[in-house]
């Protein structure tokens, strides 16, 4: 079965099934986006994101190769995949990000040699501010995604970590407008679910996913996507986090 057919088969199956890094923080009650903005199922493009993130997080290069090809076949642009892999360095580390970008480079070159014309996609269009303006943008983004200003003992113990989160992760990265926040959270959830020991951060990003407009049904799909991809432990961690949110 080719990659396109496999993606379509997975999408059909999931339709039937379904009919930052943030530390623990003090935030408002979980309030999902208005129902009018919600979809009941992930698009085929969205479904391709968690497997890419999970394979990158575990350095499973064979699975990453497959996931990258499936993602491009599913409609992700080259620049969207690049952005996913760049963003995830903040959650998985520079070495994994660099290795994954190298894998993407090889995949796209091989596809080009086979005559496959992948869509490059758009570059960020909004200029990223600098200095205090960047910190403010990052703080605003962090607050929107977290549901309230982020605070807690760890940030009192090491305030600089929140400064880095605000200025860099939620400023430099999340302010880039070539990848929507739902896609960014799907990538983050996929990566954190595949990583043992970060259950608190996974729970935070499951909550964040609901705040940026993803639905519980869609997040259940993420669980089933990870399970279908053979990562039962990642699926179980995501399922436990989702079940913890009433």
The answer, yes or no, to whether residue 3 has pLDDT greater than 60, is no
CB contact set of 67 (below 8 Å; sequence gap of 6+): 48, 51, 52, 54, 55, 229
**Residue range 186-205: mean pLDDT, rounded:** 97
Rounded Cα–Cα distance for residues 238 and 223 (Å): 6
Dihedral angle of Cα 135, 137, 138, 139, to the nearest 10 degrees: 80
The answer, yes or no, to whether residue 94 has pLDDT greater than 90, is yes
Q: How confident is the model at residue 246 (pLDDT cuts 50, 70, 90)?
A: confident
- pLDDT for position 22: 44
**Residue range 6-24: mean pLDDT, rounded:** 37
Q: What kind of architecture, by CATH, is found in domain 3-19+28-121+180-243?
A: Up-down Bundle (1.20)
Rounded Cα–Cα distance for residues 65 and 55 (Å): 9
**Residue range 99-121: mean pLDDT, rounded:** 98
Rounded Cα–Cα distance for residues 34 and 110 (Å): 43
- pLDDT for position 226: 98
Residue 55 — φ and ψ, nearest 5°?
-65, -40
pTM of the model: 0.83
Query: Percentage of the chain with pLDDT > 70?
Result: 84
pLDDT tens digits for 48-80?
999 999 999 999 999 999 999 999 999 999 999
CATH 1.20.1290.10 domain position(s) in the chain: 3-19+28-121+180-243
Q: What is the mean pLDDT of the chain?
A: 87
**Residue range 137-160: mean pLDDT, rounded:** 94
**Residue range 190-203: mean pLDDT, rounded:** 98
């Amino acid at each position: 079965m080719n990659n396109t057919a496999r993606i379509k088969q997975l999408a059909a199956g999931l339709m039937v099934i379904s009919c930052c890094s943030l530390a623990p923080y003090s935030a408002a009650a979980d309030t999902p986006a208005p129902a009018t903005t919600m979809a009941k199922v992930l698009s085929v493009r969205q479904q391709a994101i968690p497997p890419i993130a999970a394979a990158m997080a575990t350095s499973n290069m064979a699975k990453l190769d497959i996931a990258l090809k499936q993602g491009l076949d599913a409609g992700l642009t080259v620049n969207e995949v690049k952005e996913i892999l760049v963003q995830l360095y903040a959650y998985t580390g520079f070495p994994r990000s660099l290795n994954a970008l190298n894998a993407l480079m090889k995949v796209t070159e091989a596809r080009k040699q086979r005559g496959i014309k992948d869509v490059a996609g758009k570059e960020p269009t909004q200029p990223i501010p600098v200095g205090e303006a960047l910190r403010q943008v990052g703080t605003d983004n962090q607050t929107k995604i977290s549901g309230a200003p982020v605070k807690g003992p760890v940030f009192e113990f090491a305030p600089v970590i929140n400064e880095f989160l605000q200025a860099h992760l939620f400023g430099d990265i999340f302010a880039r407008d070539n990848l929507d926040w739902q896609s960014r959270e799907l990538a983050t959830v996929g990566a954190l679910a595949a990583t043992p020991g970060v259950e608190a951060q996974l729970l935070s990003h499951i909550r964040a996913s609901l705040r940026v407009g993803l639905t519980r049904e869609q997040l259940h799909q993420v669980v089933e996507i990870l399970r279908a991809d053979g990562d039962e432990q990642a699926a179980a961690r995501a399922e436990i986090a989702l079940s913890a949110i009433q």
